[in-house]
Amino acid sequence: MKVLYAAAEGSPFAKVGGLGDVIGALPKSLAARGHEVAVVLPYYDQIAMRYGHEMTDVTHWTVRVGWRQEYAGVKKLSMGPVTFYFIDNEHYFFRGHVYGDWDDGERFAFFQQAVLEMMERVDFIPDVLHVNDYHTAMIPFLLKEKYRWIHAYEHIRTVLTIHNLQFQGQYDAGMLPELFGMGTERFDDGTVRWNGALNWLKAGILYADRITTVSPTYAREIMTPDFGCGLDQVLRMEEGKLSGITNGIDTELFDPATDIHIPYAFSVEQNRDGKVKNKKALQERCGLPVREDVPLFGIVSRLTDQKGFGLVVSELSSLLQQDIQLVVLGTGDPRYEEAFRWFADQYPDKVSAHITFNLELAQQIYAGTDGFLMPSAFEPCGLSQMMAMRYGSVPVVHEVGGLRDTVEPYNEFTQTGTGFGFGEFSGYWFTQTVLKFLEVYQDHPSEFEALQTRAMSADFSWDSACERYEQLYAQMSM
């Protein structure tokens, strides 16, 4: 089977969030199962600086972006069994970042058309074209409405994965003629119109042959008004082609036994000694008192409302009355950045705040902490909780989306579970759940160590997720 993934980001080349991790891992896993797999990404300047000398120039042509003629080059790089193609246009993609420009609509309108025009030129016409989030969600629509005349494309099947429904790509209807070179018929008849705007994600939902999300619970949630971000009605209408497949993580990369970023390697069998040594090293690095007995919590996240930091900040003064320590790593909403700086200043023996992103420190937080706070308001899948568990940092999560699918709440009666969870999104229940964590940690150390062992032993590899995608692709080809 031939599969082409199209996305706005992909590890290790350009990564902003979980989408980048998926594009870095899923194609590799699928190719290892014997399929012919390729990925197409924009050729950002950061990619050029790091990997440009390894690239092969394949071809170039001009893409019509409305009345404009825009250069489109294709570069190629093989990484293991996966072929990566990159759409080159310095005007659109040499910006020093991936997202956030006023003309993102034009940038990704160009990219999507270039992807479809590239396939014949590089002689890679897939059985399945798998697009991701709104940046590439117009591709199924374009394939069936604008490029349907290309005979070689008539058997391509499309999959749209929604990594985060909140971002939908909503633009003026004039974009259809001005950037895509199309008429407005499908906007005028309501097909791609939603709340008076051209909605890229709605177009993808309606035109893709299959829709997936990154966890089964999130697939159910987005069909409800509370989580549907206004598109729940459309998703309920297309329920028959919607499914949820939980993301995995790269278990070779996130392995405490081989991780070069942590001071002391350890495994499930050496969990106790490894955690103690890494905890001491983290406390020393972060300027916290070195104490083995104090529960040390970690946060590695974007500091946003979605990630539940309204709860954390509102409850932290109360929680810090307990004998705990907290290390925070992340950037985001200035309110939360400033709040964590303030707590670090007021409680220097309890809180260490790092308002930045540092991969090495992130890994050391996973390895050195006893608990990991991730009380997201909503979470399509989440990767940090799986990474933390891999390193024996027991998560405290809001039981929503992928957090519900990956963290089994601790049950003191059956001695089961891999973390601690709360159902109602409130400061009270967040605090009560942290206090339950402290009770088990302090009063039942053997139970807590068993809980850590179960968390570290959970299977978050891409093997099972990849098998689900493989089955989905096979069903589409029948």
Which residues does the annotation place in the binding site for ADP-alpha-D-glucose? 15
C-alpha 4/C-alpha 82 separation (Å) is 10
DSSP string, 213-224: ESSHHHHHHTTS
309-319 helix and 427-443 helix, angle to the nearest 10 degrees: 50
Question: Cβ distance 368 to 390 under 8 Å?
Answer: no
Instruction: Classify 76 as helix, strand or coil.
Output: strand
β-strand partners of 45: none
Per the annotation, where are the binding residues? Answer: 15
Question: Cβ distance 395 to 372 under 8 Å?
Answer: yes
Element spanning 272, H or E: helix 271-285
Question: Cβ distance 57 to 12 under 8 Å?
Answer: no
C-alpha 107/C-alpha 125 separation (Å) is 23
- Of 55, 41, 53, 54, the C-alpha closest to 13 is 41
Beta-sheet pairing, 296-300 with 193-194: unpaired
Phi, psi of 48 (to 5 degrees): -60, -40
C-alpha 164/C-alpha 7 separation (Å) is 13
The amino acid sitting at 460 is F
C-alpha 314/C-alpha 339 separation (Å) is 10
Element spanning 328, H or E: strand 325-329
The amino acid sitting at 132 is N
